[in-house]
Amino acid sequence: MSWYTARELAELALPGLPSTKQKINDLAARENWAALDGCARQREGRGGGFEYSVAVLPEPARAELERRQASRALEALAVQNQGALTGERGGRPGRT
């Protein structure tokens, strides 16, 4: 399961979500995301706050996240396949 801070969600500019950290925090408070079982956790490290599960996000935001993740996975696979076709092995240059 993926977890996101309010700042990260704002930076992702997902459909159905506000575009600023403060407005996402306002939405989280209004909808009480922190009280939803397994959907929020205390953020570790400096600053504190919460991290939210994708489960609390509106459907359009979840769908866009899934689309972006699938796109990145396909791009990585294409790069890997291209390397296999050209004989690159990811080792040091000049070695096969």
pTM of the model: 0.76
Q: When comparing pLDDT for 46 and 38, which is higher?
A: 38
Q: Which amino acid is at 6?
A: A
What's the confidence (pLDDT) of residue 88? 63
Asked, for residue 40, whether it belongs to a domain, the answer is yes
Which residue is it, tokens 């489960």? 55
User: Does residue 41 sit within a domain?
Assistant: yes
Which range of residues forms the domain containing residue 64? Answer: 3-86
- Number of separate domains in the chain: 1
Specify the CATH number for the domain of residue 21. Answer: 1.10.10.10
Q: Is 35 within a domain?
A: yes
Per-residue pLDDT averaged across 1-25, rounded?
95
pLDDT for the residue numbered 1: 66
30, 75, 79, 86 from 59: Cα distances, Å: 18, 24, 30, 41
Lowest mean per-residue pLDDT among 39-43, 78-82, 92-96: 92-96
| 22 lies in some domain | yes
Residue 91 lies in a domain: no
So what's the pLDDT on residue 51? 96
Distance, in Å, from the CA atom of 63 to the CA atom of 47, rounded to the nearest integer, reads 29
DSSP state, residue 48: -
User: Is 25 inside any structural domain?
Assistant: yes
